[in-house]
Each structure stands twice: as C-alpha cells, then as structure tokens.
Structure 1
Amino acid sequence: MSGTQRTDDGRGRLGSALSGLAVAVGCVLFLGGFVWGAVQYQPYTVPTNSMSPTVVSGDRVLAQRIDDAEVRRGDVVIFKDASWGDLPMIKRVVGVGGDKVACCGTDGRLAVNGTPIAEPYLRSQGPASTPFSVTVPEGRIFLLGDERMSSQDSRVHLEDAANGSVPRSAVTARVDAVAWPVGGVVERPGGFAALPGGVSQPGPVRLVVGSVVAGAALILCGAAYGPIARRLSRPARSRTEAGARG
C-alpha cells in the first residue's frame, strides 16, 4: 500500500469518527431540547382577540409552566378560575396583592399605586372602560386584556368580593413565545419594571429552540459526511490506480 493510500485511509477513519461524534452529539441536543421544552412549556391555542395585538385568535403559543410565586406584573398568563367560567383564559397581569389599580387618568393611562404605566402593547392608548379604582387583595392578581375595548377581564368582575381579582394559584403558565404563526418571544413590558418586584425574566425558549436546531444541524452534517467523502475520494483513487498501471 502506498503512502498516499495510507494517508487517505487515515483521514477517512478520522472523518468517520468525527462524523459519528457529530451525529451522537446532535442526537443528544435534538432529543434533549425536545424533552426540555416538554418539561418547561405547554402549548396553548389563543381562543379570542382579547389580547390583540400581542396575540390573536388562533395563535399557537408556548407557555412556560410556573408557580404562583413567579407571577409578576406585565406577565401574559394562562389561568383558570371558577368565577370566570372555569376554562383556561389568557390575560395580562397589571396588579398584584396590595396594589391600587386605577384607570383611566387624563391621558387615558392605567396607573398602579399612583404610577402611570406605559403600555406600548395596546392597540389604542385611549380610555376603553368606565373609570375604576380597586385595591387588589393579598395573594391575588388583577388582569386585563390588551384589547381593552372588547376584553372580558377583571373589569367585568369588579362587583365581586375580590374586586375582580383571581388567586395567584389560578395561574398555570406564562406566555413566552408565539410558535405559530412564527412570532418570536413575547417581550416583557418595561412599564412595570420600576415597581417593587420588577418584571419577570424571559424563559429558556431561545435555548430550547437553539438546542433543537443545533442538534438537527449536527445530525445532518454528520450523516452527510460519508456519502460526500466517498464521492470525493473516487477521482483520487482512480488517478492513483491509473498511475500504478502506467
């Protein structure tokens, strides 16, 4: 066997080993990403336009499973409460226990504990309801839809004993991203950031998607190495054999 053949064989073995490693690592990332996503997130189909334009009817969203201690103002949450029909609903948290929530000031803005809140996610900044002012009981949250003109939210239940609020424990998940049609991550609103507790941090959806995409890429590249390497090696072998016959 010539030196050239031995070198080619060595490179071939190294390439095969690296391609096998790429496929193995890719499988770990790909499957691990799916498992991680299944543990962290639950899919949810938005039933109405009450949260338009943030999410609209028919959108498929990924909602991170959280416990009640993780709920923050500004979060778009999925919850279920018997007094609201006992069905999964989606709204935005604008007040937590102890907050005084009022609407609307002379500029049409919502105020929490006397602080006007910038809400760039609203379709319209103008007043969209009869003025109200409530104090949220401890352990509960006050929720509004982003489409204030039509949303059936805490304002509808203001006459209830709990001032339209629902228990924190009613929240099952926080919307992190729009999966279909592809809409990206649902940003945390900065308007609530200065209030005590601040806003929540984004979930790991980017890391989960990155793991799946990177895993798929490694699997494809590793699997493609063999056929490509064989095709590229054929002309070289043909030239070597021709030279040996000559």
Structure 2
Amino acid sequence: MSSLADEAPGPAAAPAAPAPAPRSRRLWGVLQGIALTVGLVLLVGGFVLTAVEYRPSFVPTASMSPTIAAGDTVLVHPLGKAAVGRGDIVVFKDPQWGDETLVKRVIGVGGDTVVCCDPQGRITVNGVPVTEPYLADGLLTAQPSGSAGDAGGSLAGVAQQQLHQTFNAQVPAGRLFVLGDNRLGSLDSRVHLDQLAGSIPVDGVSGRVAATVWPFGHWRTASRTTAFDALPGPAAGQPGPLMPLIWAMLAGTAVIVLVSLTTPAAAVVRWARRRR
C-alpha cells in the first residue's frame, strides 16, 4: 500500500531558459544598427545642409533658354564672399529694371568693355571674341531683326530693336553686364544701355544658379563654362557643394533601404532552413 507521500506529485519542473541568440546574429544586429545610423546621418544631414545652403527660385520666362526653360525651378547658392565672375548665371533684382527677380548670365564685370559684335556675330570682351557654347545652335548675339518673346510673346517697339543693335558698353566698377542665353528673347542689359551702360549692381545679386531641379525631367547641375577663361580677371565660379550633398543623400537612402531589406530576407532564409 502506497503512502500519500508516494502519491503526491513532485514539484513542477522549471521552464527551460530561452536559448541565447547565436553570437553571429547578435553581431549582425549591431552592424545593422550602425549602418542604419550612418544612413540616417547621410540622408538627414545632406537634406538639412542643402536646405540651409540653397534657395529655390522659379524662372517664369524663356530668356535663359536653352540653359533654363520657362517654368523651371532652380537652386540658388548665395555668393557669400565669393566674387561674381564672367559666365556665372546669377539671380538678382535691380529697382531700375522693375520689381521682379531675374536670372541672367554675367558677360562683363567692372572695368570691362563689352562690344557687339565681331564679324562672326560674337560678343567681344576687352577686344577678345567669346565663343559661347551654351547658346542655342547657330544663335549668336548679332541676328537679323525678327520677333521673339521674353515670356513667350512678342517684344515690341524699341525693346525689339535694341535686341538686335550693336553696342559698346563700358561697365562701371562694382557693376555687371548681363545677357540672357536666349539672345532673341531676353530683356537684359541691351535694353538698358542708357542706364550705366545697362549694368546692374553687384550688391543686387543674391546668388549663383547651381542646378535646375524641377520639373524632374530637366534636372541637371549648372556646369561651369570655360567661355571666358582666356580673359584675365574673375571667371565663372566653381560648382558649390550641391553634388556632394546629393550623393550623400542618395547613399544614405540606399543604405537604409538595403539594411531594411536584410531583416525579412534573413527571416526567409531561416524559414527555408527549418523546412528542410
């Protein structure tokens, strides 16, 4: 006959402690965290610096076509202490030209003599002919009379005539002579020659165009032109930090996406191994 002690159930077995994750899995988790942190720093840091360094500006007219089309949005890099050089595409405002913010290319700086034109229709600066590769094919500054529009319409009367006249402009110190790349449809220094040789003040320049960012199909950086490098004095500025910032943001995005995909991929691999 068994005793009650013999029949009493023994103490319940303690649940087994969960097996520690393999060391390789823990190491992989740490590496994932580091990679995600690096990706976020590149993405967020690049975006913040771009927002701080650049300002968007809308271009409503075709005066800078084909370099910048009507309706494009460009990013503008403030000049800071950098000097404006010949060939720079600048954003400026001059009360003598109206209240609008304008975008033109610098052709002459203070002290320059800008003349239209040599027998080939090229602008000369201080007697040196300038070949401008950014102009529309076959379009030079000297053209036969015709109709063109700064905003898609017709330029009428004296403004239209001034676009096709020859000129000899002496640029005063501290000022700039600017033209649009669309020489048949840009209201620029040529139509203000009676006001300080059509020049604008350097202080009126808010920045240099760094890139076209919208519409997306027009996206491109504003490459530095070498058209004026044969001339002594300030030439077009070097590109700003926009491209390194863009590459940083792209790299950060790629790292975040790739690391995010590794977790479900690893789960699928482990599931497949258990099924074997």
The TM-score, its normalising length taken from structure 2, stands at 0.80
After TM superposition, the structure 1 stretch with the greater mean CA deviation from structure 2, 44-53 or 60-69, is 60-69
1:25 aligns with 2:38: yes
2:204 to 160, 167, 170: 170
1:135 aligns to what?
170
2:119 aligns to what?
106
Does structure 1 conserve the Cα–Cα contact (< 8 Å) formed by 2:47 and 2:249? Answer: yes
Does structure 2 conserve the Cα–Cα contact (< 8 Å) formed by 1:48 and 1:57? Answer: yes
SS state of the match for residue 215, structure 1? helix
2:3 aligns to what?
none
How far residue 126 of structure 1 moved from its aligned partner, in angstroms, is: 5.4
How far residue 171 of structure 1 moved from its aligned partner, in angstroms, is: 0.6
The structure where helix makes up a greater share of residues is 1
Looking at structure 2, the residues matched to 98 and 135 of structure 1 have their Cα atoms a distance apart, in angstroms, of: 7
Query: Structure 1 residues 163, 126: closer, same or farther in 2, change over 3 A?
Result: closer
Does structure 2 conserve the Cα–Cα contact (< 8 Å) formed by 1:50 and 1:150? Answer: yes
1:121 aligns to what?
134
Paired residues, number: 233
2:256 aligns to what?
219
SS state of the match for residue 197, structure 2? coil
Looking at structure 1, the residues matched to 125 and 81 of structure 2 have their Cα atoms a distance apart, in angstroms, of: 20
1:61 aligns to what?
74
Q: What is the RMSD computed on CA atoms of the aligned residues?
A: 1.6
After TM superposition, the structure 1 stretch with the greater mean CA deviation from structure 2, 72-81 or 126-135, is 126-135
Structure exhibiting the larger radius of gyration computed from Cα positions = 2
1:144 aligns to what?
179
How far residue 198 of structure 1 moved from its aligned partner, in angstroms, is: 2.6
Identity of aligned residues (%): 45
The TM-score, its normalising length taken from structure 1, stands at 0.90
SS state of the match for residue 30, structure 1? helix
The aligned amino acid for 1:165 is: S
1:190 aligns to what?
226
Structure 2 runs not aligned, ≥5 long:
1-18, 144-163
Looking at structure 1, the residues matched to 261 and 80 of structure 2 have their Cα atoms a distance apart, in angstroms, of: 44
Query: Structure 1 residues 53, 68: closer, same or farther in 2, change over 3 A?
Result: farther
Cα deviation, 1:116-154, whole Å, max 9, x if unaligned, reads 001011120251420001111001101000111121001
Does structure 2 conserve the Cα–Cα contact (< 8 Å) formed by 1:67 and 1:169? Answer: no
How far residue 183 of structure 1 moved from its aligned partner, in angstroms, is: 2.9
Looking at structure 2, the residues matched to 9 and 70 of structure 1 have their Cα atoms a distance apart, in angstroms, of: 60
Query: Structure 1 residues 98, 69: closer, same or farther in 2, change over 3 A?
Result: farther
After TM superposition, the structure 1 stretch with the greater mean CA deviation from structure 2, 201-210 or 48-57, is 201-210
Structure 1 runs not aligned, ≥5 long:
240-246
1:70 aligns with 2:83: yes
1:210 aligns to what?
247
Looking at structure 1, the residues matched to 64 and 253 of structure 2 have their Cα atoms a distance apart, in angstroms, of: 34
Does structure 1 conserve the Cα–Cα contact (< 8 Å) formed by 2:87 and 2:235? Answer: no
Query: Structure 1 residues 186, 134: closer, same or farther in 2, change over 3 A?
Result: same
1:232 aligns with 2:269: yes
1:155 aligns to what?
190
The aligned amino acid for 1:225 is: T
SS state of the match for residue 193, structure 1? coil
How far residue 231 of structure 1 moved from its aligned partner, in angstroms, is: 1.6
SS state of the match for residue 40, structure 2? helix
SS state of the match for residue 234, structure 1? helix
Cα deviation, 1:166-191, whole Å, max 9, x if unaligned, reads 11011111111111233311122111
Cα deviation, 1:77-126, whole Å, max 9, x if unaligned, reads 10011111122100000000000011111110000010000101112025
How far residue 208 of structure 1 moved from its aligned partner, in angstroms, is: 1.2
